[in-house]
Amino acid sequence: MTFGARLRQAMDDRGQLCVGIDPHASLLSAWGLGDDVAGLERFSRTVVEALADRVAVLKPQAAFFERFGSRGVAVLERSVAEARAAGALVVMDAKRGDIGSTMAAYSEAFLAESSPLFSDALTVSPYLGFGSLRPAVDLARKNGCGLFALALTSNPEGASVQRALAAGGRTVAQSILDQLAAENAGAAPLGSFGAVVGATLSDVDEADLAINGPLLAPGVGAQGATMADIPRVFGASARNVVPSVSRDVLKHGPSVPALREAAERFVEEIRAALPA
């Protein structure tokens, strides 16, 4: 099955929720763990144990593992493998973007079946030109994986690039969305090439989000958006949105039951927010 088909099935079965695995130093401390590899491993294994068999998507932020060097990356490898084995789809949040052979190598690190970091999908940056992502697009398609390209992010600095006008009068963000739509043409039930679109944005309706692919939506919870905002922000595309929540779930650890209860609450909130 393609990533898009697996994601559609997972969201239908488990609900439209992505939980980030973001082991900030402050979260490790709040859990009573050290800011070291042992704390990192305990944190990650607890999140996977609590949630991988019940949420649709887990999204490890690679940077929080990479900061510990090779031992941190080894923890990430185990977390990815264990999460996928338990049934969660893993979106590696690494935001890779480069050209040529370097982009190909980044793609192989996360999208090649032989890689210990093999994930269901990868976040990528298209701001060296969407065409620079071709090695990732091709490898993802070959191996049944997906991509999420940064399109309309919620950080204020992003607007200077994403809202700039490109050739033909479209915004840069819209040109990215249009190229994702082209990659998803004819895919059913859902394309594998998605966009990152912030749930906190108030003017997403100015963009055409009908890309026949998933929309990864950070910003729910600590950043101010709620699940009730999803239909208002994303309109007709709301059922393809994967709201991403990190701190507002993770703050309930290290209790496994509390982590599960927090995730289940968000799943029910998005179900209630969407029209029947």
Catalytic residues: 95
Using a 10 angstrom Cβ sphere, with 0-12 exposed, 13-18 middle and 19 or more buried, the burial of residue 3 is buried
d(CA 77, CA 111) in angstroms, rounded, equals 13
Using a 10 angstrom Cβ sphere, with 0-12 exposed, 13-18 middle and 19 or more buried, the burial of residue 1 is exposed
Q: Which residue has the tokens 């130093």?
A: 25
Which residues, at least 6 apart from 116, have a Cβ–Cβ distance to it below 8 Å? 77, 80, 81
Other Cβ atoms within 10 Å of 261 Cβ, number: 13
- 271: closest CA among 250, 246, 241? 241
**Token representation of residue 270:** 């998005």
Beta strands in 56-211 (DSSP E): 57-60, 89-96, 121-124, 146-152, 193-197
Residue 85 near residue 54, CB atoms below 8 Å:
no
Q: Which residue has the tokens 């912030």?
A: 198
- For residue 10, give Cα distances in angstroms to 4, 54, 121, 248: 10, 10, 14, 22
Which residues, at least 6 apart from 206, have a Cβ–Cβ distance to it below 8 Å? none
